[in-house]
Amino acid sequence: MTDSPTPTSLDFSSLPAFLGSTSALIGQALAQALPDGEPRALLYDLARDYPQRGGKRFRPALLLLSCALVGGKPAQALPSAVALELFQNFALVHDDIEDGSLLRRGRPALHRIHGVPLAINAGDLLFGLIFEVLAQNESLLGAGTAWSVQREFSRVFRHTFEGQALDIGWAASNHWPSRDEFETMIRLKTGWYSGRGPCRIGALIGGGSEKDIDDLGQCGELLGIGFQIRDDLLNLAPDTSQQPPGAFAGGYGKERGGDIAEGKRTLIIIELMKKLPAPDVARVEDILNAPAESTSPGDIEWVIATAERTGAIAEVRARCEALGQDARNLAEKLPPSPQRKLLAELTDYLMLDRWS
């Protein structure tokens, strides 16, 4: 593993340019952060697999943007941005095993290729590398700030695992959560590691005040929750699992209706269940409780069509748009700058009506 490169190519001129330049930069830094040695075929090749499949990498983009928003230098935030992307890929490896996922970014999930034990071990390596990368912060930021960043990462990890416990535990125990329970889960799981955490860490590194850190964290939480709801909506859109992702496109996700096959208790399902007569509720429960391999395309299409017909999808779309507007309102209270404009545009990209 070598030191990460200095980010000299971030482009703040437009949101597509910024996301594209961030993705390229993080991809380069990840390649340098991941070891290349033995046992290559049993460990290091597996650890490189998901990062090499690409992805939008909006979480590190949000961290770097938050650093710049408070007047900091993104170069100082690069190790933390790389560490966050390592955590994302660790989480995906373990998430796919826990959910029994078949695909990830257009290819079979890692455990489907190499088996569960080796995939778990590769995921564990990705998690361990986070701390090697964060060790660079001491020389970049000083010991005090480096330890503060480490504490923020620890909070992100803990809250993510709390949310994940609820998410997979509900399916295992056949619990059907309320809307309030769902939003608690998603605030812990996605609100923290996809939004509040990146924004707080970036603002902390950039030298922001406590108010800056709190305000950006609140905006980020709305972004994280909205992103997950948007992702759930996109999962019901036409299949993009074989299409490469772009700055403003989906792609390399799961197959259409994959969340239904995996029995996910999404907000769409929660709203749908409220609207159905008892026989249809029982049918939805049977479909979601069945093993993913035995869930037929016809059952998935029936759930999607019923969610559309009853207005459940429209209600969830409206909730996503409201979260987007709330995030935008917070972003517009920040001092004017090109970075603030990008943050406001990012709220539109993540949450407004781009899935239809």
Rounded to whole angstroms, how far apart are CA atoms 177 and 167? 10
Report d(CA 147, CA 137) in Å as an integer. Answer: 9
Phi and psi based region of residue 251 (left: phi greater than 0; alpha: psi -120 to 50; beta: remaining): left
Alpha-carbon distance of 253 to 104, in angstroms, equals 6
Closest CA to 31 of 80, 75, 86: 86
Task: Output the pTM of the full model.
Answer: 0.90
CA separation for the pair 272, 313 (Å, rounded): 8
Instruction: Tell me the residue type at 28.
Output: Q
User: Tens of pLDDT along the chain (356 residues)?
Assistant: 544 444 457 899 898 999 999 999 999 999 999 998 999 999 999 999 999 998 779 899 999 999 999 999 999 999 999 999 999 999 999 999 998 888 888 899 999 999 999 999 999 999 999 999 999 999 999 999 999 999 999 999 999 999 999 999 998 898 999 999 999 999 999 999 999 999 999 999 999 999 999 999 999 999 999 888 988 998 898 755 544 444 444 444 557 898 998 889 999 999 999 999 999 999 999 999 998 888 999 999 999 999 999 999 999 999 998 998 899 999 988 889 999 999 998 888 766 554 34
φ, ψ dihedrals at 37, nearest 5°: -155, -150
CA–CA dist 271, 317 (Å, integer): 11
Angle CA 201–46–109, to nearest 5: 90
Whole-angstrom distance, CA of residue 354 vs CA of residue 323? 14
- Rounded CA gap, 293 and 261, in Å? 8
pLDDT, position 216 = 96
Which domains does the chain show, CATH number per domain?
15-235+246-351 (1.10.600.10)
